[in-house]
Amino acid sequence: MNTLDKGFNTKLIHAGAFEDEFGSATVPIYQTSTFKFKNAQHGADCFSGKSDGYIYTRIGNPTIRAFERNIAELENGYDGIATSSGMGAVSSVYMALLGAGSHIVSSDAVYGPARGILEQDFSRFNVEASFVNTSNTENILKAIRPNTKVLYIETPANPTIDITDIKKCAEIAKKHGLLLVVDNTFSSPYLQKPLDLGADVVLHSITKFINGHADIVGGIIVTKEEKIYKQIRHSMVYLGCNMDPTQAFMALRGVKTLAIRMERSQENAMKVAEFLANHPKIAWIKYPGLTTHPQHELAKKQMKGFGAVMSFGLKGGYKAGEKLMNNVHLALLAVSLGGVETLIQHPASMTHAAVSKENKLAAGITDDLVRFSVGIEDVNDIIEDLKNGLNKI
């Protein structure tokens, strides 16, 4: 079915799906590593691009293709490239768009390994990187150099929940000849569509909201144009961080409920944020839905909702946060986010452990910061759990 002119919820269910000879209602798992050519000429045509037949699963596979087309439509992009993990998506994008002597400007509070791989690995190939607080776009302008190729932002950022103005970044990127890449993991295409706001590339850890059930890791990249799509697909195929057909099947199943999961979890998150904001033991809280969030107005303008992830600090600092993490029982003490289950974690010692203490502090990842991802359980139970945990401090 052609779903290009259909609404978002219809696309969630049907985009990318294709009909097979059995009339399967869902896209089956094509668990095969290789594909038989009809004859030698067909094989040669598949390799030369004259035929779009499948060749080998690292290069392409029907189940993976269905997922790629699904997310490409949700993001209003040209096409999608599915990867083994979110970091597979990040690495493929860096590999395709950066080279020796080039420079990237990135949000300072990005996913820890997305920063770590630039500092520890790409630096060995002479790629330079600057990390700045991109929620103030003046900082971006100051960081741009003659050899800057990419502006990379994450909004809301992990774990500070700072918001960056995508439209403004797109204007800056255009003016300075940079490609704008947006990690849209925290919002999902349901809440935010960076390509519509002028970005060139959008990527996701689908481990989070898109799959939403904490049962697979995976990633996806969607580009606005064909040229960049081909560049990144080449890097992904050569790096070998392709998605697996079973992963793609799970992701296709997960994404169908993205909108209703997101609605429920952000409704819960708003109530949890209000509870925490009024609790005497809380020192500070950052959630885009609260008017106290420094970029609340920008979030309202750029996002369709405020998401389900927040960060906060307790008056007793890290020791109190540790006590809370050890005394909640419904919220799982686990990294990751965006699933149906509520999760709590401590970024400084967990997801952002790879970032130096100095850089963490500069990026606002303080020792007292606790990250909370709200699930779709009964909100009263989530709040009761937090209340009990806070009482133990």
Ligand X SMILES: *Cc1c(COP(=O)(O)O)cnc(C)c1O
- Give the catalytic positions in this structure: 58, 111, 183, 208
Q: Is 45 left (phi over 0), alpha (psi -120 to 50) or beta?
A: alpha
Shortest CB 180 distance to ligand X, Å: 16
Least distance in angstroms from the C-beta of 159 to ligand X: 9
The DSSP element (H or E) to which 106 belongs, if any, is strand 103-107
The residue whose Cβ lies closest to ligand X is 86
Q: What does the binding site for ligand X look like in residue numbers (CB under 6 A)?
A: 85-87, 111, 114, 154, 158, 183, 185-186, 205, 207-208, 217, 219
| Least Å from the CB of residue 14 to ligand X | 25
Give, in order, the Cα–Cα distances in Å from 319 to each of 285, 315, 364. Answer: 17, 10, 18
- Tell me the C-alpha distance between 211 and 340, whole Å: 10
The Cα 325–Cα 319 span in angstroms is: 10
If you compute the radius of gyration of the chain from its CA atoms, what whole number of angstroms results? Answer: 21
Is 153 or 390 the residue whose CB approaches ligand X more closely?
A: 153
What is the nearest approach in angstroms of ligand X to the Cβ of residue 177?
Answer: 26
The rounded distance, in Å, linking the Cα atoms of 180 and 140 is: 12
Residue 87 or 320 having the CB closest to ligand X: 87
Residue number with CB closer to ligand X (154 or 200): 154
Measured from the CB atom, the residue of 3 and 185 that comes closer to ligand X is 185
Give min distance, CB of 55 to ligand X, in A. 26
- The CA distance from 389 to 325, in Å, is 8
Nearer to ligand X, 16 or 219 (CB): 219
The DSSP symbol for 371 reads: E
Q: Assess contact for 107 and 164: CB atoms under 8 A.
A: yes
- Cβ(149)–Cβ(168) below 8 Å: no
